[in-house]
Amino acid sequence: MTIDQAIDGAAVSPEAIQEALLGFLEGRTKSTLSPTQDLFASGLLSSMFAMELVVHLEQSYRIAIVGADLKLDNFRTVQGMTDLVLRLQGGSTAGSDV
């Protein structure tokens, strides 16, 4: 699924979100990533890029990331970001094995 499809309001599966995020991040970092890789510990994500990522997620998935949702742990891994998007869209992430 492309970001345009996500913006068009199509139902977005956890797999599609994860795939789109991996594509976005791999394109920006020029690295191959896994969904559970700690992006901060690996040095691939800076605090400045994290803020850009917040804007990207908000625009791509029509969500608002505010307050307690802005904690670092929500952006540490692609899996964490996928779970955040699903939760903010009203979906379930319990036991998510994307």
pLDDT of residue 18: 97
pLDDT of residue 47: 84
* pTM of the shown model: 0.81
pLDDT of residue 39: 95
Residues whose CB falls within 8 Å of the CB of residue 39, separated by 6 or more in sequence, listed in order: 25, 33, 45, 75, 76, 77, 78
pLDDT of residue 11: 60
Per-residue pLDDT of the chain in tens (98 residues, 90 and over written 9): 444 444 455 568 999 999 999 999 999 999 999 999 999 999 998 888 989 999 999 999 999 999 999 999 999 999 999 999 999 998 655 444 44
Instruction: Read off φ and ψ for residue 97, nearest 5 degrees.
Output: -120, 55
pLDDT of residue 46: 87
3-state helix, strand, coil in the chain (%, to 5): 55, 0, 45
